[in-house]
Amino acid sequence: MKNKTSKKQFNSVDFEINGGKKLSGTIRTGYSKNGSVGLLCASLLNKGKTTLHNIARIEEVNRVIEILESIGVKITWTGEHTLEIIPPKKFNLNNLNKESAIKTRSILMTIGPLAHFIPSFKIPHAQGCHLGKRTIAGHSYALEELGIKIKTTQTDYEISVKKLAPAEIIMYEAGDTAVENVLTACAKIPGKTTIKFSSSNYMVQEICFFLEKCGVKIEGIGSSTLIVHGIKEINQNIEYHNSEDPIESMMFVSAAITTDSKLKITHVPINFMELELYKMGKMGLKYETSKVYKSENGHTNLADITIYPSKLKALDDKIHANPYPGINMDNLPFFAISAMKAKGQTLIHDWSYENRAIYMTELNRLGAQITLADPHRVYIEGGHILKPAQVVCPPALRPSMVIMIAMLGAQGTSILRNVYMINRGYEEIVKRLNSLGADIKVIK
């Protein structure tokens, strides 16, 4: 099965959404976006063949595949969600696909693995979502402790590798991709590396489980301190299953809320949704949770949740994100949906990004009452009837998806322009929402 990725997918596509429809039925949570791209980058460590199952068929994954293929990696879709990855004898970064590289911040996660094979190289500045100033200090400070130096120029990151050695690392910030970079860097450094103030988010745990499959012993998975016992070589045929995406689960919960629908969502990574559901429960959301079962990776806890039509009220306290086990940074924007349906005023504090809260004000085009207090905080006055509108997707994945979900609750026809951002992170989202009763058309 050949890869079907091309520059054509950068072109603009719009969605026409006929809102006000009730949703019903059952939907399965898709495979993790962040797990997919992290595993693709981590597979570079293995000199043997890596087979990754449950990889999301999304634009972000397409961009990473294009990057890896351009430097010599052979990648083949051997099933609907299965990739076979065979590394080259020698990576060639002279042919790096820069057009794809600047489209995704995931390019940064190639630094840790490639540092074991190339003494010096450079990659272009990463973009992805436009969320304000996003430094790579968390990456550079930690990797420098291991012997990897990153110099930032006007257009590139220049990476040089000295003698690699294990270290005790204090993370400058608990960034997910920064920790993933450190994990792949120290995985092939023999000896014990300690990572303190580590992220324990779902995608970081995914990389830990994959590295364990590669023979790397890791202590403290799920905590803020990881102890990695690096090994000299990874050269074997490895097969691994990615787990499901808690941010997609949250999206479907929000779709049920905005349309006042009963909806069953299966394969929810429940450990990464518990606090979100608890907070919404305190707002009045009625839901049921099934018994816990395991994802195919053998580690991640899953559950099925059923959402019921509910009358919501605003919380007295602000809603804000924190590193796991707090509310997930990527789930925070979806609380705008709950807040718009809730009686009273809700304060959402998005402290981690300079620009993302600003994008929430685009919901005012649909009749929401959102006041921007500053670049990090919005006040949402709930209970207002949404109306259809034309909106251009902001240059950020989660706010774009929130706007799309809000349009499902607005009676009449809305147009969402330039939906590449949504296709970056959500697989066949139109088909899947339509299967629940939504009325969405793709306009090319």
The full set of domains in the chain, from first to last, is 7-30+244-443 (3.65.10.10), 33-241 (3.65.10.10)
CA 332 to CA 254: how far, in whole Å? 11
pLDDT band at 2; cut points 50, 70, 90 = very low
User: pTM for this one?
Assistant: 0.95
Q: Is the pLDDT of residue 424 over 50?
A: yes
Which CA distances in Å does 348 have to 16, 318, 354?
29, 6, 14
Residue type, 70: S
Q: Is the pLDDT of residue 132 over 60?
A: no
Which pLDDT tens digit goes with each residue over 43-98? Answer: 999 999 999 999 999 999 999 999 999 999 999 999 999 999 999 999 999 999 99
- Percent of the chain residues past pLDDT 90, beyond the cut: 90
CA 249 to CA 432: how far, in whole Å? 13
The full DSSP string for 108-140 is: GGGHHHHTTT-SEEEEEPP-SS--S----HHHH
pLDDT number for residue 10: 52
Which pLDDT tens digit goes with each residue over 224-265? Answer: 999 999 999 999 999 999 999 999 999 999 999 999 999 999
